[in-house]
Amino acid sequence: MGGCRAFRERARRNDIARRPSVTEPARILVVGGGCVGMYTALRLQRRLKRGEALITVLDPEPYMTYQPFLPEAAAGSISPRHVVVPLRRVLRKCQVVVGEATAIDHTARTATVRTLATEEEGTDPVEIGYDELVLAPGSVSRTLPVPGLAEFGIGFKTVEEAIMLRNHVLEQLDIASSTRDPAVRSAALTFVFVGGGYAGVEAIAELEDMARYALRYYHNVEPEDMKWILVEATGRILPEVGEEMGTYAVRELRGRNIDIRLDTRLESCEKRVAVLSDGSRFPTRTLVWTAGVKPHPVLAASGLPLNDRGRLRCTAALRVDGTEHAWAAGDAAAVPDVAAGTPDALCAPNAQHAVRQARTLADNLVASLRGGGTKDYEHAHAGSVASLGLHKGVAHVYGKKIKGYPAWFMHRVYHLGRVPTFNRKARVIAEWSLAGLFKREIVSLGSLERPRAEFELAAGTDHPSDGR
């Protein structure tokens, strides 16, 4: 009996020793609700136990935009609502705050945040405290001091810009069809895109495809009347798919009457005239800027170590270098590329790395909270795919070079697998299927950008004395 009691007593003491101490849940602040931020928070909420941590996700928008689908949204192949993922629906165990971090004091573990409420109230930004910080604010468009760019340029990083560009292009066809002024007609039918990376090439290819189709319903405008111009400062486009596939993409686009200007820069675009470094001048009502990105400004206001390009210096374990309790991945982070085999190589800031880095970051953060060890992020680059419009594309995957319809199909399959949630996958598949059965939509809803215009006109008509 005594031996049994002694055994039970030892078992009781061992059981007490194994129980975790009762502590306050860790406060995790995820700055950014994009690809890295959303996937990191999603994995954290799945792996952390109830009461183990409080996760707050901060982003200026209440949704994550799957940017590789923006060209198809602009061309009308996918509804804009289906290229975004509502954060509150996906991150049900997280607190989602719609706002923007303006400064971070990591010593005090606080982030200064401007929210919709503070703007509405006219009050000072609020402070959000944290124990663990995940910085994934992404990037913003990198503009240059080109005269006229700020006034007339159109970006291509958000779903709002994609919708606006689609409506704008269709509106230009309407202007060209109805004007009798040759100068106005020519400017309306001239579309200039600056930047030969993924965004620029896929955007011009998809929109040219859409506009060419739409012209079937315009009796006095022919496809040959349009001028589509792609301006690239280097000697090649789509460097990610390799030189051979990049050269093929140039041939394919030029065969569709798209003017590719390599080793050329935009000098100015004042008074709606695009002036190029080769001396060309193009009066145009459409100038799309996709010439690169830069780190989000909040990184410079964080006081954390940055590299010479303004990205956070990180270890291969996705910790901010030399800083405890701070993590980063994606466009904001300069992460060593362990798989490259060279000491100074960094992971490319693309979606292929971002999704995988988010998974490793979340696992390392959970392990750190539980006192375990972390592992380095390592992924060998699988290759790249790019769409050149409907049924056309290029790919360089695992050393194999693919072009035409197979590359386009691979592009769709790959990104369908990466877009988050079954809900969005099903909706995208449904829209692709319906697009194969029915004709393209060619309706411009430009009035969506000015929804009160009609009411304001009516109010001004009813009350002529108010000076409107």
Of the pLDDT bands very low, low, confident and very high (cuts 50, 70, 90), residue 201 is very high
Of the pLDDT bands very low, low, confident and very high (cuts 50, 70, 90), residue 7 is very low
Report the percentage of the chain scoring pLDDT > 90.
68
pLDDT of residue 383: 78
DSSP lists the bridge partners of residue 282 as: 274
Let me know: does 140 contact 280? Beta carbons within 8 Å.
no
pLDDT of residue 402: 92
pLDDT of residue 77: 87
Per residue in 222-261, pLDDT (tens digit) is 999 999 999 999 999 998 888 899 999 999 999 999 999 9
Of the pLDDT bands very low, low, confident and very high (cuts 50, 70, 90), residue 19 is very low
Nearest partner of 28 among 123, 100, 136, judged by Cα: 136
pLDDT of residue 466: 47
pLDDT of residue 451: 73
On average, the pLDDT of the chain sits at 88
Long-range contacts of the stretch 60-64 (C-beta < 8 A, 24+): 60/98, 60/99, 60/100, 61/33, 61/98, 62/33, 62/86, 62/87, 62/88, 62/96, 62/98, 63/33, 63/87, 64/33, 64/34, 64/35, 64/37, 64/38, 64/90, 64/420
pLDDT of residue 10: 47
pLDDT of residue 17: 39
Mean pLDDT over residues 409-418, rounded? 89
pLDDT of residue 461: 60
Q: Which residues contact 190 (CB under 8 A, 6 or more apart)?
A: 226, 227, 229, 282, 283, 284, 285, 286
pTM for the whole thing? 0.85
Residue 93 predicted with pLDDT over 80: yes
pLDDT of residue 18: 38
pLDDT of residue 463: 54
Domains and CATH numbers, the chain: 26-141+294-370 (3.50.50.60), 159-291 (3.50.50.60)
Residue 140 predicted with pLDDT over 90: no
Report the percentage of the chain scoring pLDDT > 70.
93
Of the pLDDT bands very low, low, confident and very high (cuts 50, 70, 90), residue 348 is confident
Residue with tokens 């193009």: 282
Per residue in 208-226, pLDDT (tens digit) is 999 999 999 999 999 999 9
Mean pLDDT over residues 382-408, rounded? 88
* Residues 11, 6: Cα–Cα separation, whole Å: 9
